């Protein structure tokens, strides 16, 4: 992105907002229209706790196209800074197995507990499937979608196993080849059930595809288009969104061209686009950018966008730092009612508190980082 969409621990571990697999524990690291605003949370007691400093120095201001840095942005407005999460969506599903919930259960006496529990753990979030495990993927996806259906709520799932994922960066991994990936996708689709579900399909798979040759890119895009069709065929209620990067990365026209090649303009495979996954750009900037991408994409007017608002309450850092940058804040609460035309949802796709690799091990929940975001 000009920040990686997600940093995963390793192939074989699911990570992101909510993990479907991780199992290490510890006190600080647990298992791996017009803009509407959420009302502010009632002030909670804030108990200072030192945050470990980043293991990498701040990056210089990024060039126009690099992946791993958040592009410089002006300071957010007072309105954007005040948009802290407050109201939990009654329609989105909060899966009971997550790194932050593990930490909350295991650390009731920690002075940061009340803040992390009320401002992060209480929010519904996405479930990532970041490991290539064909034998178990159907059952694991089904466990999430059936849990949401039982409560009449909408789960958000993230397939994240495309070959050459992250172009060999910190989140490298995925299926060994596209044939294996296509078969994995079919098994993923078999777990989607028959209820409402949102699929955030392969963060970075389109925006971060310049590392591929033209032929490799075309083959990847064909597999992504196929994936959307497989999800729609398995569950007509599934809403599938494709990778649009974020407002600080590619030109909307260029991004739309790639999205079109990947099937995002066709209702046979797509309901639209997603942006800002694991990034920090303001919701206002993302709304404007997503609408430009959708306009350039073409396709039916029903196509919309979802935005990751989990860590964008203070906007992107001016110095371009992408790895657990200091001074970031939680963004708007997850909701399916944005009050914005063509913006279908604000989602928490990246779990606040899961490290990019500087304040903790990549993909693991770090309480000090979560607390800094939440307070």
Q: Which residue has the tokens 């989105």?
A: 92
Evaluate whether 29 touches 360 at the Cβ level (below 8 Å): yes
Tokens of 54: 């980043």
Q: Which of 204, 271, 285, 324 is catalytic?
A: 204
CA angle centred on 256, ends 254 and 262, rounded to 5°: 110
C-alpha–C-alpha distance, residues 237 and 234, integer Å: 9
DSSP 168: G
C-alpha–C-alpha distance, residues 336 and 231, integer Å: 20
Evaluate whether 184 touches 161 at the Cβ level (below 8 Å): yes
Q: Which of 131, 164, 166, 196 is catalytic?
A: 166
* N-terminal to C-terminal alpha carbon distance within the chain: 26
**356: annotated active-site residue:** yes
**204: annotated active-site residue:** yes
C-alpha–C-alpha distance, residues 174 and 137, integer Å: 13
Return phi, psi of residue 214, to 5°: -55, -40
Catalytic residues: 166, 204, 356
């Amino acid at each position: 992105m000009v920040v990686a969409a997600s940093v995963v621990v390793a192939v074989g571990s699911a990570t992101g907002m909510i993990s479907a697999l991780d199992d290490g524990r510890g006190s600080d690291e647990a298992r791996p229209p017009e803009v509407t605003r959420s009302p502010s949370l009632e002030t909670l007691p804030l108990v200072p706790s030192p945050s470990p400093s980043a293991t990498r120095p701040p990056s210089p201001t990024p060039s126009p196209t690099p992946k791993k840095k958040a592009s410089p942005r002006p300071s957010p407005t007072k309105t954007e800074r005040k948009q802290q999460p407050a109201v939990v969506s009654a329609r989105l599903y909060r899966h009971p197995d997550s790194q932050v919930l593990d930490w909350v259960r295991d650390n009731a006496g920690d002075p940061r507990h009340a803040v992390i529990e009320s401002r992060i753990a209480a929010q519904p979030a996405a479930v990532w499937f970041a490991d290539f495990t064909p034998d178990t993927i159907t059952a694991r996806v089904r466990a999430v979608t059936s849990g949401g259906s039982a409560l009449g709520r909408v789960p958000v799932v993230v397939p994240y196993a495309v070959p050459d994922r992250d172009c060999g960066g910190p989140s490298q991994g995925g299926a060994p080849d596209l044939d294996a990936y296509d078969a994995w996708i079919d098994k993923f689709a078999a777990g989607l059930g028959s209820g409402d579900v949102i699929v955030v399909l392969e963060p970075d798979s389109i925006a971060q595809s310049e590392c591929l040759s033209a032929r490799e890119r075309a083959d990847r895009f064909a597999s992504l288009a196929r994936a959307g069709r497989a999800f729609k065929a398995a569950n007509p209620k599934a809403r599938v969104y494709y990778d649009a990067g974020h407002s600080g990365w590619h030109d909307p026209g260029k991004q739309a061209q790639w999205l079109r090649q990947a099937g995002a303009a066709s209702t046979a495979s797509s309901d639209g686009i997603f942006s800002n996954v694991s990034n920090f750009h303001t919701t206002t900037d993302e709304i404007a950018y997503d609408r430009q991408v959708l306009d350039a994409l073409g396709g039916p007017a029903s196509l919309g966008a979802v935005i990751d608002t989990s860590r964008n309450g203070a906007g992107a850092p001016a110095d371009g730092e992408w790895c657990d940058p200091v001074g970031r804040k939680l963004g708007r609460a997850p909701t399916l009612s944005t009050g914005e035309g063509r913006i279908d949802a604000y989602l928490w796709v990246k779990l606040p508190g899961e490290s990019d690799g500087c304040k903790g091990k990549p993909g693991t929940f770090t309480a000090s980082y979560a607390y800094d975001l939440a307070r």
